[in-house]
Structure 1
Amino acid sequence: MERKILLSTPHMGDWELEFVKEAFATNWIAPVGPHVDAFETEFCQLVGTSHSAAVSSGTAALHLALRLIGIQAGDEVFCSTLTFIASATPITFLGAKPVFIDSDRISWNLDPELLSTALAQRAKIGKLPKAVLLVHLYGQSADIDPILAACDRYEIPLVEDAAEALGATYKGQNPGTFGRVGIYSFNGNKIITTSGGGMLVSDDSELVSQARFLATQARDPAPHYQHSQIGYNYRLSNVLAGIGRGQLRVLAERVAARRRNFEIYQQTLGDLPGIEFMPEASFGKATRWLTCLTIDPEKFGTDREQVRLALAAQNIETRPVWKPLHLQPVFADCEYIGGKVAEGLFQDGLCLPSGSNLSDADLKRVIQAIKRVNAVKT
């Protein structure tokens, strides 16, 4: 059996190790420390925002963001349906309820027209959501301008989940920096990683200051341990922040490598019958964090699941596109707005190995494996 090709693995370099060595040499191991401060500053400079707070995960960042914009028990939050569950679970942490919105076909992200129509209908009956949670999927920005305009029309705060979209652009600006608050993830499979970690960003200095306060157990400024609010143990460690600083320095290289993966896949597989790749919307540049495609079983000769299983038998990891959250059993009682776009993408969609450290030989193995499936089935 040949070596396993995984979907998306960490890609470390020399900078990361140097910063970690510095953390050990100075004994700054625990949460907070000079690397955390520097990581926040450097991240702000990179994405073009004023303030940031480094935390233990993207989920933690999203939880803080929703709490700080005032989401409470009983509230409703409109949320993209085609995404990982961590986009929606923080809504439930606060006792609120998600309402899921279907995707468009241009970007696979939340459909701006559906959102605008839904908000207009809700306004008529006096039941507007308390926030809109927009996810930027698989390294591609959603169409932010009409979504933000719809939110502003009703004075609804926009929270951006850019966990998968660091390094992408929307009309020259970084997704995650348009709304009231944005979040990013540095999980091990992301385009850059701190092993585990996340970042909350905003141009609202008081909001970010409160995020840091809540993330450090909401400890009051007293010589003893005093707490007037419930907080969380969410701050990023100085060691992991050092890894993040090193990763920031190679972000452009990592994006270029993943886009190259996509281009090779598209050039070699794009002519196969029934294969369509996730489009790149004209309003921005995608990172191609994961190369995603759909497979029409009638044209290709078999469905996405059979392709996935055939590649798994050859020690190649692929994965279905996210199962829409409105189809998840845990959200069975939640409202859904839209049609069948996200459901169709899940049914036919497949994510290919996309790591920035894939070799040409790795890519060739994946490509040949898919071509073999097609040759057998047609």
Structure 2
Amino acid sequence: MEKQFIPLSVPNLKGNELAYVTEAVKTEWVSTAGPYIADFEKAIADYVRVPAACACQSGTAGLHLALKVLGIQPGEEVLVPTLTFIAAVNPVHYAGAEPVFMDCDDTLTLDPEKLKRFCEEECEFDGAVLRNKISRRKVTALVVVHVFGNLADMEAILSLARTYGLKVIEDATEALGSYYKEGAYEGRCAGTIGDIGVFSFNGNKIITTGGGGMIVSQDPELTERCRFLSTQAKKDAVYFIHEEIGYNYRMTNLQAALGLAQLEQLEEFIRIKKANYELYQREGIKLLPFRRDIRSNYWFYSYLTDNRDGLIRYLEQHGIQSRPIWKLIHTLKPYEGCQAYRIEKAAWYYDRVVNIPCSSGLAEENVKQVAERIHLFLKEQAWR
């Protein structure tokens, strides 16, 4: 009997999803108004312990709104990681700003040591404005991406940001449920430490609304400003008064209904993901570790190999989906002319990381099947 196809990361829709979405359809609240939106916003805000949240169309839309409400201006520079999905960087372009690409450390997240050296050696600071020596542009913000459920060193990064007056946007699109267990931010969730945090509920995320995102902040005025801009900056709901440019970035009630049901299961999803991560390890598959000072959501599992492409092809031939890590953004055509600062580790990991199946619905026998195939691949390589 042929073994089943094992996808990389797919939704797990075994809770109240159908009941809540059906209720939204029955009541005919299916667009960008309806009770599930407010309920989902409150539930996320309560889960990550912030005063308020703003549901939006996607994580990308959330990042764009974050840049807008933090006042990032055209022609300014925003420091961004090169090792991330391109959606973390494109909103910088939407805002008319210029990205400057930073390297990662061994957590795959932004390297605070190189960030420090860039600010000290490649920029001038007059006590108020950080200015890039090469471009002469102001450096005004920083996008930190928490990669695969791991958390960046926010203690070091926030200290630097405060020193140089940088706004901090946390791209926590992969890290809902991850939080610090110790240190200055003990108990603080991903997305709640910088000025604004953004989550994604795309189909492959730990919880999904099919598409959609959420903006959070410790400052409720920022989330309210995001909400205003996300609904076309409508000043008067009756007479259609608009005094500035807004966006059609609001989440729908149908999406929020799905998200609310998913959020009810999040802790169970994390338990399963952690258990499968540990099972891979017991099966002899050494995966990249998560920081010891955090509770990770274990969203993606990263395996290191010197034959990345060969392993991906081999697994595909045997019905197992895997993927390389993202191509470094500073090497992509839209960003070829942008400054990149001492990119070294990101290039090393790009050549070696393979993400292997990690869905929250992944059964133990599937984990063992993937592990078996990786071991067989390694044996075949050794014989050659």
The match for 1:243 is: 258
The match for 1:334 is: 338
The match for 2:134 is: none
Equivalent residues of 1:143, 1:283 under 8 A apart: no
Shift of 1:140: 0.8
- Partner deviation per Cα, 1:96-147 (whole Å, 9 max, x = no partner): 1111110111x11100111122122313485051101000000111111010
Shift of 1:220: 2.0
Name the aligned partner's letter for residue 212 of structure 1. R
Tell me which of 316, 319, 342 is aligned to 2:320: 316
TM-score under structure 2 normalisation? 0.92
1:82 lines up with 2:93 in the alignment: no
SS at match of 1:172: coil
SS at match of 2:235: coil
Fraction of identical pairs, as percent: 37
Structure 1 residues 87-106: aligned runs within 5 Å: 87-105=88-106
Cα distance in structure 2, aligned partners of 1:316 and 1:37: 39
The match for 2:116 is: 116
1:130 lines up with 2:130 in the alignment: no
- Partner deviation per Cα, 1:144-200 (whole Å, 9 max, x = no partner): 101000001122111100000001112332010001100000000000001111000
SS at match of 1:79: strand
Equivalent residues of 1:217, 1:232 under 8 A apart: yes
Cα distance in structure 2, aligned partners of 1:22 and 1:222: 26
Name the aligned partner's letter for residue 114 of structure 1. K
Name the aligned partner's letter for residue 100 of structure 2. V
The match for 2:378 is: 374
The match for 1:35 is: 36
Structure 1 residues 163-174: aligned runs within 5 Å: 163-170=173-180, 171-174=186-189
Deviation larger for 229-238 or 182-191? 229-238
Equivalent residues of 2:125, 2:164 under 8 A apart: no
Deviation larger for 78-87 or 328-337? 328-337
Equivalent residues of 1:172, 1:284 under 8 A apart: no
The match for 1:216 is: 231
Structure 2 gap segments, 5+ residues each: 132-137, 181-185
Shift of 1:14: 2.7
Shift of 1:350: 0.4
The total of aligned residue pairs comes to 366
Cα distance in structure 1, aligned partners of 2:5 and 2:177: 27
Name the aligned partner's letter for residue 150 of structure 1. L
Shift of 1:329: 2.1
Structure 1 gap segments, 5+ residues each: 271-275, 298-302
Tell me which of 186, 189, 210 is aligned to 2:201: 186
Q: Which runs of 4+ in 1 moved over 4 A?
A: none
The match for 1:273 is: none
Cα distance in structure 2, aligned partners of 1:141 and 1:45: 20
Name the aligned partner's letter for residue 34 of structure 1. P
The match for 2:157 is: 147
The match for 1:351 is: 355
The match for 1:325 is: 329
- Partner deviation per Cα, 1:183-229 (whole Å, 9 max, x = no partner): 00000000000111100011222221121111111122152223221
Deviation larger for 229-238 or 85-94? 229-238
Cα distance in structure 2, aligned partners of 1:294 and 1:215: 40
- Partner deviation per Cα, 1:212-267 (whole Å, 9 max, x = no partner): 11111112215222322111111111111011111111100111111112111112
The match for 1:200 is: 215
TM-score under structure 1 normalisation? 0.94
Tell me which of 274, 281, 284 is aligned to 1:266: 281
Cα distance in structure 1, aligned partners of 2:24 and 2:32: 11
SS at match of 2:74: coil
